[in-house]
Homo-oligomer: A and B are copies of this chain.
Amino acid sequence: MAIVDEVVEGDRATLLAPVTGSSGSLHDEILAGLRRYLIEGNLPDGARIPERLLCETMGVSRTPLREALKVLASEGLVELLPNRGARVRAFTENDIRELFEVMGGLEALAGRLACERITDAEIAGVEQMHYDMYASYMRRDLPAYFALNQKIHLAILAAAGNSVLTTTYTNFSSRLQRVRYNANRENHKDRWGEAMREHEQILDALQRRSGLELSDILFRHLQNKRVAALRYLDDHPSEVGDQGQPA
């Protein structure tokens, strides 16, 4: 029942480490630690987060912890019920749709800006990653494929040269990460060939620096990911948690 006992997947689960106190303010360390802990999906949707327990686990007092919770609430990772404490935010299907749509809009923007600013060397880098990713695809090496996939998207994001965009994108990406961890693995296989073809188009538009095209492809790419993710959630309704009221 305690937070540290909720660890489910042994492998990726990282304990909610006590704050080191080595550097920076307590508030920042708590914020970063809690955020990482939540993003990694160590707590099921809707789980209560009692202050007292967290205080003991992290070895700090309630004041900085409460500050961190307010920030996490404003980031959309937890929700605060008045006089009733913090809960892990549970995303509905509609929330997930909205998040994917916004992520798609941000990727589209990144693609558009990247086409205006990317250097030939950076394009060459993306090409290299793309071919490596294709090789992973042919090898059916899903983990390598995922890693390169993410690197490509991040490279486009970086080439856009907009730190506000990067921050915002990362923020939304975090919210989806808990869903993605579960949805990506199995599900993507159905869509793998399709996704690979979309990435061919992404590279092509980027090479021609066609911002409008790249923008549109990236947006549709994300929408397809959304459909895949939601289909997975429908088939495996338990995995994201949401152990709401048991019948």
List the interface of chain A (C-beta within 8 A of B).
Answer: 24-25, 27, 63, 66-68, 70-71, 74-75, 82, 95, 98-99, 101-102, 104-106, 108-109, 112-113, 162-165, 168, 172, 212, 215-216, 219
Contact = CB atoms under 8 A, between A and B. Distances in A.
B163 A98 contact: yes
Decide if the interface of chain A is mainly helix, strand, loop or mixed. Answer: helix
A226 B31 CA distance: 34
Contacts of A101: 109, 113, 162, 164-165
Copies of this protein, total: 2
Given A66-B67, A74-B75, A112-B219, A102 B162 contact: yes
A82 B25 contact: yes
Contact of A102 (B27, B66, B164, B212): B164
27 contacts: A25-B82, A27-B70, A63-B63, A66-B67, A67-B67, A68-B70, A71-B71, A74-B75, A98-B162, A99-B164, A101-B113, A101-B162, A101-B164, A101-B165, A102-B106, A102-B162, A102-B164, A102-B168, A105-B105, A105-B108, A105-B112, A105-B165, A108-B108, A108-B109, A109-B219, A112-B219, A164-B172
